[in-house]
Amino acid sequence: MSAPAARPGAERADGARAGAGLVVESATSHVEVLVCAADGAALAHEREEVALEHTRRLAPLAARALAKARVEPRRLAWVAADLGPGSFTGVRVGLATAEAFALAAGARLTGASSLAALAHSSGARRALVVPLVPGGRRDLYAGFFRADAHGAVTLLAAPRVGPPAALLEAVAEASALLPAGWGVRFVGPGAARERDALERAWPGATEPPWRFEGLSALDLAAAVRLGLGRAAGLPGPDDAPQPLYVRSAQAEERVRRAALAGEDVRLRDMAAADLPRVAQIERRCFGDPWPESFFRGELAHPLAWARVAEHRGEPAGYIVAWLDAGGGHIGNLAVTPESRRHGLARLMLEELLERARRLGTPSVTLEVRVANDAAQALYRAHGFRLAGLRRGYYRDDGEDALVMEWRGARSGREPETAGPGRRPSPLTPGPD
């Protein structure tokens, strides 16, 4: 006697539930919770407008989705959250909820930014993809990605926030880095809100409309499952999910500035006695570090600008650059993790640029990882702008590098990124 026939789809569904995932999209008032099978298929998908009640509504919504999917919370294999940008409250509550479910299940915690998820789901080809998410009544958050001829999406530059006019200038700057003939594609709810202005600047760039109603949890799940890492604007395999705020909360910035006013920071020339400590910082900050012998050689180089930043009496950072009246290049700028956000990198950079002004240096260039948001923000705040893209530049993981350039005393000649006395770095400068 043959065995009774199984219910259609039951075997696949039961096996898939063993590796099920929970996806929380809560960066706006439009909240979604998705329960995915191991193969990515949707088992349950709940949506709700929660206004400002993320704390009260999100956990029950997740519980309802799990019940509909017939997935016990303890059997979840992974949990993902939207990392922003968006509502500070929504992002924080969403990530905290995801962390709680992951902890209870012993599941892997992951996530993706709303900008990356929108870019990867856009279907664009040969285009600068600019996801836009509202950042208040006036501002927008903008991401910058490149979609090649095959539709593969990689990160191009750090996200920005500002009014539409300022972001359109940033789009023009970023689009100049891509091959001739490539287009611009705006996606996301911010594109819906500012569609007329975007179309005036870039005709056809909002067509066809994509996710004008907001990010879908389905797109977030698909982005997380790609596993492409930082070069694609997604967390790396060992990265703990962190909110992407783009701009700090005003209260946090006020407290930080007040605290820095009394910091014990001193800049001085790098000496031979500093080299073991400098090499140690180098190894901590970079995946493909320069050896101590390199720094030793640079101390004798006539155009080298090598300085150390002491924090609370100990060397905590350094800068190595090559500078003269013809041009300049920053090789490395690094600060130890525990001394970041204390102004060391800012002070070293400002001192270098003041030196460049005194020399009449027409430009200073550098390379920076496309995923190094903090470093790009620091350089942009000091007048650096996008000047080029170097594909697969970093040897440790193949990540692309942006070339950024500061223009000082204008000489009318084209700046050099490398030349006699100025050497391109295989590494990215680090944030402070």
User: Residues 46, 282, 298, 367: which is the catalytic one?
Assistant: 367
Q: What is the set of domains in the chain, with CATH numbers?
A: 17-112 (3.30.420.40), 115-232 (3.30.420), 262-407 (3.40.630.30)
- Dmax over CA atoms of the chain, in Å, equals 94
393 is catalytic: no
Residue 169 tokens read as 């200038």
Could you tell me the pTM of the whole model?
0.85
The band of 395, judged by pLDDT with boundaries at 50, 70 and 90, is confident
pLDDT at 172: 97
pLDDT at 2: 38
* Cβ(428)–Cβ(286) below 8 Å: yes
Sheet of 140-147, strand order: 153-162, 140-147, 127-134, 183-187
pLDDT digits (tens, 9 = 90+) for 115-166: 999 999 999 999 999 999 999 889 999 999 999 999 999 999 999 999 999 9
Give the list of residues 6+ apart from residue 272 with CB closer than 8 angstroms, or none: 296, 299
* Cβ(394)–Cβ(401) below 8 Å: yes
Say if residue 416's pLDDT is above 80: no
pLDDT at 7: 35
**3-class DSSP assignment, residue 47:** strand
Strands 401-407 and 385-390: antiparallel
49 is catalytic: no
User: Residues 141, 379, 393, 394: which is the catalytic one?
Assistant: 379
Strands 304-311 and 314-324: antiparallel
Residues paired with residue 366 on neighbouring β-strands, in sequence order: 404
The least confident of 89-103, 157-171, 246-260, 270-284 is 246-260
DSSP 78-138: EEEEE--SS-HHHHHHHHHHHHHHHHHHTPEEEEE-HHHHHHHHS---SEEEEEEEE-SSS
Strands 78-82 and 21-25: parallel
Instruction: Give the residue-averaged pLDDT of 41-63.
Output: 90
pLDDT digits (tens, 9 = 90+) for 180-226: 999 999 999 999 999 999 999 999 999 999 999 989 999 999 999 99
Give the list of residues 6+ apart from residue 229 with CB closer than 8 angstroms, or none: 235, 236, 237, 397
The band of 39, judged by pLDDT with boundaries at 50, 70 and 90, is confident
pLDDT digits (tens, 9 = 90+) for 329-373: 999 999 999 999 889 999 999 999 999 999 999 999 999 999 999
